[in-house]
Amino acid sequence: MAEAEEHYTLPRPTFSKPVKLLIVVAPYYRAIADMLIAGAKAEIEAAGGTWDLIEVPGALEVPTAIGIADRRSNFDGYVALGCVIRGETTHYETVCNDSSRALQLMGLQGLCIGNGILTVENTDQALARADTTRGDKGAGAAAAALHLIALTRKWGDAGKGIGFLPREEYRVADGGETME
């Protein structure tokens, strides 16, 4: 791991209204999950936010749980946490790719999700990334979600709208006439 490398970190966003996030964790590797959770909680609290925590059986269930929560609750954003360590079969690629792809698709639909599901070759790599004094990827995932929430709030009231306007509301920009 390139621990000695310097990386730029965006300043922590600030919020005028409280933020509430759901941390969804697959605790298959409990010690690693606990470190990721600790980092995520600390980052959310440092931004003045609150959090709830749920556990699911595995990384593939994390996106499903977030989808359910988004339809049935009032969270501003989500932190996806877990760890997938390469084994002897191709199941590793399936779990890594499908969980990541599902989270990305939900993000493209407007959900504010920080992806902290580690995909590593071995336990040492996982520990280095999860440890709150080293990689702190749990905090990084929470920070990503917080930044996306800040962007959503910044642009949420823009009133731009999407799609087509009803015929009677569509006006020609250079004369105010109704388009025929």
Q: Crossing angle, helix 123-130 and helix 30-46, to 10 degrees?
A: 20
- CA nearest to 106, candidates 76, 53, 67: 67
Q: Which two tokens stand for residue 8?
A: 């730029």
Give me the tens of pLDDT residue by residue for the chain, a chain 180 residues long: 455 678 899 999 999 999 999 999 999 999 999 999 999 999 999 999 999 999 999 999 999 999 999 999 999 999 999 999 999 988 999 999 999 999 999 999 999 999 999 999 999 999 999 999 999 999 999 999 999 999 999 998 555 555 555 555 544 444 444 444
- Specify the fold of 20-169: Rossmann fold (3.40.50)
C-alpha radius of gyration, the chain, whole number: 20
Distance CA(51)–CA(127), nearest Å, equals 24
| Domain boundaries of the chain, sorted by first residue | 20-169
Residue type, 110: G
147 catalytic? Reply is no
- Cα distance between residue 83 and residue 29, in whole Å: 7
Contact between 76 and 149 under an 8 Å Cβ cutoff? The reply is yes
Give me the catalytic one of 30, 91, 101, 171.
91
Nearest to 142 by CA among 99, 49, 79: 79
User: Tens of pLDDT along 38-76?
Assistant: 999 999 999 999 999 999 999 999 999 999 999 999 999
